[in-house]
Amino acid sequence: MTPDPPLLAAADLRKAYGPTTALDGAEFAIRPGEIVAVMGPSGSGKSTLLHCLAGIVRPDSGRILYGGRELTAMPDAERSTLRRTDFGFVFQFGQLVPELTCAENVALPLRLNGVKRKEAEARAMEWMARLEVDDLGRKRPGEVSGGQGQRVAVARSLVTGPRVLFADEPTGALDSLNGERVMRLLTGAARDTDAAVVLVTHETRVAAYSDREVVVRDGKARDMERAR
């Protein structure tokens, strides 16, 4: 059986910030439903790679293909629509909207996509239950713990049914117990919905949840074949 073609693939990505080379010919590919850990020391270019793959940062050169379409050639408006409909994001610090309740935070991406309030609320509640935070719906982000907030952020990232979830150090601000819980729930939900996950981390304990590891060093990404 031939393996699935990549859902998202990048070839020869280069990106410089002034005199600093962040990406120096990076290659990357992920298949539907695959969980790939992007590892490497601080400053090696991991976040820049993730931001390019997600269409947030334009590389100076190189090509990114998503589902056969060239992300690097898309107009900005089309790329931002794609980010809303096909991609989900989790960052190191949840980045929840502090003025909204947790349930409103989870429903927000649906509301932005034009889903009616009642349906958005119902789907938000389902996802909060899945992430074991359904008792926090009425609380504001400032009233919940770091681990709880991060599980709310994961619910928000998956509520639209993204094909790719981008997670940048999702457990970086958590203790190991809460980090494990976030990773278990995040990867379980991604597998249930067949979402691919690009997981940036510097922790082997977190990378252990992936199918495959890619190591970034000096702006170059290298595939590490690892037994599943």
Which residues lie near ligand ADP (CB under 6 A)?
17, 20, 22, 40, 42-48
Q: What's the min distance (Å) between Cβ of 41 and ligand ADP? A: 7
**Sign of the Cα pseudo-torsion (224, 179, 22, 87, in order):** positive
Which residues are within 8 A (CB) of 44 and not within 5 positions of it... i.e. 6 or more apart? Answer: 216, 217, 218, 219
Q: What's the min distance (Å) between Cβ of 47 and ligand ADP? A: 3
The β-bridge partners of 221 are 216
- Closer of 44 and 105 to ligand ADP (Cβ): 44
* Angle formed at CA 172 by CA 171 and CA 178, multiple of 5 degrees: 40
- Could you tell me which of 92, 163, 155, 164 has the C-alpha nearest to residue 121? 155
Give the tokens for residue 147.
């681990």
